[in-house]
Amino acid sequence: MSAPLILALPSKGRLKEQVEAWLAESGLTLSAAGGTRGYLATLDGFDGVEVRLLSAGMIAAALDAGEVHLGVTGEDLLRERGEGAMTRVVLLKGLGFGRADVVVAAPQAWIDVVSMDDVDDVAHAFLARTGGRLRVATKYANLTRAFFAAKGVGDYRIVASDGATEGAPAQGLAELIVDITTTGATLSANALKILDDGVILRSEANLAGRRDAGLSPAQNRAAEKLLNQLKIGADSFFA
Amino acid sequence: MRIEARIPDPVLQRIRAPFRRVDASGAKPERIDPPVIQPLDLLLDLSGEAMRERLFVVQGEDGAEACLRPDFTIPVARHLVDRGALSGRWYYQGQAFRIAPLGAAPAIHPSEFLQIGIEAFGGPDDASADAEIATLAWESAAAGGRDDLSLRIGDVSFFRAFLSDIGVPGIAAGRLQRAFTRPNRLRAEIARARRTAQVPPAALGVAEIERLWAEQGLEQTCGRTAQEIADRLAHRTRETMEPCLTDEQAMRIEQYLDISDRPADALARIRALGAGSAFETESKWWSLLIGDLSGIPNDRITFDAGFGGPFSYYDGFVFEIVSKALGSDAAVAAGGRYDTLAAQLLGRPVAAAGCMVRPARAWNGAAQ
């Protein structure tokens, strides 16, 4: 049998349920395969498609690396991989769930700070006073760097954050954060506020494809059939 | 990995020769070899977060992140501070490492490249010192054999003087000047200064801010005091009382920043835009500079009014030498004055200027 088309789908949590519901709308059913470990699945009626169940972050990485042909993951996770990744991966369709905004948030105690213009002022004063730069805690270093550059804010430093980013200011590890939020409740609970012009990206789950994937004729037929059933125009994927 | 062409020794010697020459004070520059591996934190603190995407980051000792030197200016200055040598001239020759921008041609933007240059600390802080550094860079770059080189110069002090001459109010002028090296910031500041209906922020005193904090249970102030916030609110209030930038002023600023011409023609155009006494004071310095650049053909020099230099730490005269064949984003040589950065590293005010040349770009045989 020839190599299958590889589709990567989220392996756990709410996102997995939402993806399954979205597939069901198009009459597609996912069946677990590959034993009890459950990292593989099949789509009923699609013999030429192998489904890999991965975390959303791993799906973004696998698409970028060309290890999978199609995948569902967050736009934020793909864009964070940098401009290079966005030349290799094409967003085929926003799926309307998995919504999260990537935002810049500042301490509520900073009454005078409501915009990125204010951040630039304060960052400049901070550098002049302390000799160090304002620290921004984030897991989104690339998105942060591109956004701050677009806003012309230069006097800051990124502090990598792996865990609960919203706690970084209270812990004295950073002054600002860039993180995802859906309702803003977690930010408020941590005495942080979103800046007026601080929305970097309104992200949602996307079906994305690897450009120049070098699909065989059989893989191409499988992709066409699948995208057709999902009612997704995919000229940019096959181009 | 993008590797650059190896340059024949005689060519390299010719490119290096200007930096080893005895200077005006009779001293011969000494060779300095700063470490390849540099502390990441310090480099980013000094040159800004935007630099990070160009850096090869490595795991350093004691778990601290380090990087391969992307340039020599900061490594040389650090090395001299460690040795306690705070004035004099040093030349260097060695590899520097930078991740190429997306889509850049590998032959012109190798990840690892040879750099030769000179740094001068504690020398005179005047036009002839600036001109001397630019002339050394020119001689060195030209020794590579290219006949399509040109020198591009700029200086933030002219911008400062121009803003004052066309009557831009003090606070707005300060912000615009600060944004000079960052085009996106400059656009944002011009927009901010033009806003007609600027509402003054609530003028809160220290006691009121502290009361608000207590009421809302805000315990974390993240390094800022109520006094600092009250001062900034008062400053913002004064700013909203300044007349906003007129359409006429905004237009002239944009026209000024677009000027890129032979020095004499650029000067005439800046005067026509309304430059007055402050600018004339600076332009005397400029005449001296241009006079001292006499070793460089005048028709190869461009004054670019919006040019602020390759790194944000250049704070006065800056220059770049480019080759027509290589294009404007692949400088053959660059340099300028960086007194503020040097003072930050040395812990006391010091005049500092320097330049670097990339021999593989200067050599006209590299492409063959």
Is residue B183 less than 8 Å (CB to CB) from chain A?
yes
**Contact state of A117 with B223 under an 8 Å Cβ cutoff:** no
- Alpha-carbon distance A200 to A119, whole Å? 15
B102, B201, B223: residue with CB nearest A112: B201
Q: Are B118 and B15 in contact (CB under 8 A)?
A: no
**Contact state of A83 with B44 under an 8 Å Cβ cutoff:** no
Give the H or E element holding residue B303. strand B301-304
First-to-last CA distance in chain B? 20
User: What confidence score (pLDDT) does residue B200 get?
Assistant: 72
Is residue A189 less than 8 Å (CB to CB) from chain B?
no
A87, A130, A154: residue with CB nearest B48: A154
How far off is chain B from A24, nearest CA to CA, in Å? 40
Is residue A157 less than 8 Å (CB to CB) from chain B?
yes
Tally A–B CB contacts below 8 A.
Answer: 96
Is residue B192 less than 8 Å (CB to CB) from chain A?
yes
Give the H or E element holding residue B150. strand B149-155
Interface test with A, best of B47, B49, B184, B236 (most A CBs within 10 A): B49
Q: Please, which contacts does A82-88 make with residues 24 or more away whose CB atoms are closer than 8 Å?
A: A82/A142, A82/B102, A83/B102, A84/B102, A85/A60, A87/A211, A87/B102, A88/A63, A88/A64, A88/A210, A88/A211, A88/A212
User: Using a CB-CB distance cutoff of 8 angstroms, which residues of chain A are in contact with residue B221?
Assistant: 107, 109-110
Mean pLDDT, rounded, of chain B:
89
Q: What is the pLDDT of residues B208-230, one digit of tens each?
A: 999 999 999 887 788 899 999 99
B179, B213, B222: residue with CB nearest A169: B222
Q: How many CB atoms lie within 10 A of CB B8?
A: 11
User: What confidence score (pLDDT) does residue B265 get?
Assistant: 92
User: What confidence score (pLDDT) does residue B219 get?
Assistant: 79
- Alpha-carbon distance A75 to A99, whole Å? 9
How far off is chain B from A172, nearest CA to CA, in Å? 7
pLDDT for residue B127 is more than 50: yes
Q: Which amino acid is at A143?
A: L
Residue B103 is encoded by which pair of tokens? 């889509």
**Contact state of A169 with B187 under an 8 Å Cβ cutoff:** no
**Contact state of A145 with B183 under an 8 Å Cβ cutoff:** no
**Contact state of B49 with A120 under an 8 Å Cβ cutoff:** no
DSSP secondary structure, B155-187, as one string: EHHHHHHHHHHTT--HHHHHHHHHTTT-HHHHH
**Contact state of A145 with B52 under an 8 Å Cβ cutoff:** yes
How far off is chain B from A134, nearest CA to CA, in Å? 10
Q: What is the pLDDT of residues B142-163, one digit of tens each?
A: 999 999 999 999 998 899 999 9
pLDDT for residue B248 is more than 70: yes
Is residue A217 less than 8 Å (CB to CB) from chain B?
no
Residue B10 is encoded by which pair of tokens? 């005689």
The residue of chain B nearest to residue A169, with distances taken between CA atoms, is B222
ipTM of the modeled complex: 0.85
Q: Which residues of chain A have pLDDT under 50?
A: none
User: What confidence score (pLDDT) does residue B196 get?
Assistant: 62
Q: What does the pLDDT average to over B44-53?
A: 87
Q: What does the pLDDT average to over B14-34?
A: 89
- Band the pLDDT of B368: cuts 50, 70, 90: very low
Q: Which residues contact B73 (CB under 8 A, 6 or more apart)?
A: B119, B311, B313, B338, B341, B354, B356
**Contact state of A150 with B312 under an 8 Å Cβ cutoff:** no
pLDDT for residue B41 is more than 60: yes
User: What confidence score (pLDDT) does residue A118 get?
Assistant: 94
pLDDT for residue B307 is more than 60: yes
- Band the pLDDT of B366: cuts 50, 70, 90: low
Q: What is the pLDDT of residues B102-122, one digit of tens each?
A: 888 888 899 999 999 999 988
Q: What is the pLDDT of residues B73-105, one digit of tens each?
A: 999 999 988 887 778 899 999 999 999 888 888
Q: What is the pLDDT of residues B237-247, one digit of tens each?
A: 888 888 889 99
DSSP secondary structure, chain A, as one string: -PPPEEEEEE-SHHHHHHHHHHHHHTT--EEEESSTT--EEEETTEEEEEEEEE-HHHHHHHHHHTS-SEEEEEHHHHHTT-HHHHHHEEEEEE-S-S-EEEEEEEETT-TT--SHHHHHHHHHHHHHHHSSPEEEEES-HHHHHHHHHHTT--SEEEEE--S-GGGTTTTTS-SEEEEEESSSHHHHHTTEEEEEEEEEEEE-EEEEEETT----HHHHHHHHHHHHHTT---HHHH-
Q: Are B59 and B66 in contact (CB under 8 A)?
A: yes
**Contact state of A149 with B184 under an 8 Å Cβ cutoff:** yes
Interface test with B, best of A64, A112, A158, A196 (most B CBs within 10 A): A112
**Contact state of B49 with A122 under an 8 Å Cβ cutoff:** no
Interface test with A, best of B220, B228, B235, B341 (most A CBs within 10 A): B220
User: What confidence score (pLDDT) does residue B282 get?
Assistant: 82
> What is the percentage of chain B residues whose pLDDT exceeds 90?
53
User: Using a CB-CB distance cutoff of 8 angstroms, which residues of chain A are in contact with residue B342?
Assistant: none
